[in-house]
Amino acid sequence: MSYCAVSFCWNSSIRLSKIKFRENANIINIFTKQYGKVSGIVYGGNSRKVRNLLQISNKIFVIYNSKNLNKIGYFKTELIEPISPRFFNDKRRTSALLSVTSILNNLLPESQPYKDLYNSLSILLNDFDNEKWPILFVYWELNLIKELGFDPNLITNLKLNPNNEILINIEVDGVKYKVPNFLITNKIPRKIDFDLIKKALIFNRNLMLNKFFIPNNLIFPKSRIILESYFNWFISFATSKAK
């Protein structure tokens, strides 16, 4: 039996998931520009230093080594940029980060590059301090759906809304959806409306469920549903303040 040792180096990758492997080791999944989702073992993963380094969505430098292409390899990691610690006190942004990494971890195949998707995610993470990040998040999810192979062609529904209604009913592959008009026109609203964002999140969730999660018997991430509930809370809060 012959073995082929392999070694790779990724200057920037995004941590997707982490599970305990042994007493002092974890298996983590990372999202890389060159190879998509990659799994590897990290030793010392339960130490405080490494735990902080491997926070969800952090950008990390990774050296990957494996003695056999058919077996899981080993990661040596260094922190490039902490992402999640910046938002520990922000429940909505934290839930959004958990949603992004959980969805990618569920839907991305192993070792297949998605360079455009990686670039768009890097831009989204850089824009998380922007006050319009929820709108950018919605558009990123829609782009993810397209990158994974399904384009709902929303622009073809422009004629269904001659009066420029805020919410319209469309049909995609025989399934009816309610879609905020800004996703049809592809024009970012000047003013952020949390109710509109909630409806856009629901549309994206239903589309992902029907096209990816249900057909593949996958469980939809709880963090993504929690994210919607936070926008519910803000809608209720705004309504009560108005009264």
Name the least confident of 109-123, 134-148, 201-215, 220-234: 220-234
Residue 122: pLDDT above 90? yes
- pLDDT of 136 higher than 80: yes
In the CATH scheme, what is the code of domain 6-82? 2.40.50.140
Percentage of the chain lying above the pLDDT 70 cut: 88
Lowest-confidence region among 99-103, 191-195, 225-229: 191-195
The 3-class SS string of the chain reads CCCCCEEEEEEEEEEEEEEEEECCEEEEEEEECCCEEEEEEEECCCCHHHHHHCCCCCEEEEEEEECCCCCCEEEEEEEEECCHHHHCCCHHHHHHHHHHHHHHHHHCCECCCCHHHHHHHHHHHHCCCCCCHHHHHHHHHHHHHHHCCCCCCHHHHHHHCCCCCCEEEEEECCEEEEEEHHHHHCCCCCCCCHHHHHHHHHHHHHHHHHHHHCCCCCCCCHHHHHHHHHHHHHHHHHHHHHC
Does domain 86-242 bear CATH number 1.20.1440.120?
A: yes
- As a whole number, mean pLDDT of residues 236-243 equals 46
On the question of pLDDT at 100 being above 90, the answer is: yes
Residue, of 44 and 102, whose pLDDT is higher:
102
35 vs 115: CA distance, rounded Å? 8
Q: Would you state the structure tokens that stand for residue 43, as one six-digit string?
A: 């030793």
Return the domain boundaries, the chain: 6-82, 86-242
183-195: pLDDT as tens digits:
998 887 777 788 8
Share of residues in the chain with pLDDT > 90 (%): 53
Does the pTM exceed 0.85?
yes
pLDDT at position 69, please? 63
